[in-house]
A = this chain, B = another copy of it.
Amino acid sequence: MNGVHDVGGMHGFGPVDWDEGPPSLDDWEAAVVAIQGATRRTGLINIDEFRHGIERMAPAHYLGSSYFEHWLDGIARVLVEKGAIDPAALDARTAFFAERPDGAARDALAAAPPATRPSVPHRGYVRPERAPPRFRAGDAVRARTTHPAGHTRLPRYARGRRGVIAAYHGVHVFPDTHAHGLGEQPQPLYSVRFEARELWGESAEPREAVYLDAWEPYLEPA
C-alpha cells in the first residue's frame, strides 16, 4: 500500500535527531517487545502481517507516535482481526489499568494463567529453489509500476525505475501474499542497484546508489 510508512525520499521531517546515548527500553516498551515475540513465537502473527498491521495505522497517529506505539497498535489490530482477542475485552482491561497506573499485568488475572503454548519452530524465510531464477547478476531490470492497496515491500520511490541486478539471494517467502493469509508463495529475491540519478533525477547527490532487496514479481526486464 502507498501508506504513510513509505517515507523513502520524502522531505519535511527535519534534521536527524541524533542521540549518542545507548538505547534502553521503558517497562511498557519491554512489554511490547515481549508481546511481539510471543505473537511471532506462537505463529499467531507472521512478520508481514505484523508490518501490515502497522502500515494501516491512521496516518496522523503513525507520524505522531513512537516506534513501540506502532508495534502496540499494529499487533492489537491484527489480534482483533484474527479473533485472538476481543476488542471490548481489550478496552475494558485498558480501563482497568487506567485506574491502576502502577498495576502489573497479573493484577487483572482472576486465576493462575494456563501453561504457555509451545513455540512454533521458526523456519526462517529462505525456501528451496524450484526453478531457475529469471534474472542474473548484471541484468538490467525495471521495478514495476504497481500501486497495490495491500502490503508490499517495493517502496514507491523505486517503482518504474531502472536498476541492475547486483546479487541473487535465493528464494524467499513473498511478503505480498504472506501478509494477507495467501501463503508463503516463495519467490527469487535479488539485490538491485539503482543509480541515484535514475531515482531522483537532477535532485540526486553525486556518486550515490541505492540497493534494494526485490522479489522477482517486483521486477521486469529493462
Residues of B within 8 A of A161 (CB): 160
**Contact string against B for A residues 59-72, beta-carbon threshold 8 Å, 1 for contact and 0 otherwise:** 11001100000000
Closest to A204 in B: B147
Distance (whole angstroms) from the CB of A149 to the closest CB of chain B: 5
Distance (whole angstroms) from the CB of A122 to the closest CB of chain B: 30
Distance (whole angstroms) from the CB of A16 to the closest CB of chain B: 15
Given A63-B63, A160-B160, A12 and B56 contact (CB-CB distance below 8 Å): yes
The CA-CA distance from A218 to B199 in the complex, in Å, is: 16
The CA-CA distance from A198 to B144 in the complex, in Å, is: 11
Decide if A146 is an interface residue (CB 8 Å cutoff).
yes
**Contact string against B for A residues 143-159, beta-carbon threshold 8 Å, 1 for contact and 0 otherwise:** 01111110000001001
Closest to A9 in B: B2
Decide if A133 is an interface residue (CB 8 Å cutoff).
no
Closest to A149 in B: B11
Residues of B within 8 A of A199 (CB): 145
Residues of B within 8 A of A78 (CB): none
Interface size on A, residues (CB 8 A): 33
Decide if A102 is an interface residue (CB 8 Å cutoff).
no
**Contact string against B for A residues 108-146, beta-carbon threshold 8 Å, 1 for contact and 0 otherwise:** 000000000000000000000000000000000000111
Given A4-B10, A156-B156, A201 and B146 contact (CB-CB distance below 8 Å): yes
Decide if A24 is an interface residue (CB 8 Å cutoff).
no
Decide if A3 is an interface residue (CB 8 Å cutoff).
yes
B203 A149 Cβ-Cβ under 8 A:
yes
The CA-CA distance from A162 to B55 in the complex, in Å, is: 30
Residues 175-203 (chain A) with a chain B CB within 8 angstroms: 198-203
Give me 10 A-to-B residue pairs in the complex whose CB atoms sit less than 8 angstroms apart, sorted by A's number: A12-B56, A60-B64, A64-B64, A144-B201, A145-B201, A146-B200, A146-B202, A146-B203, A147-B203, A160-B161
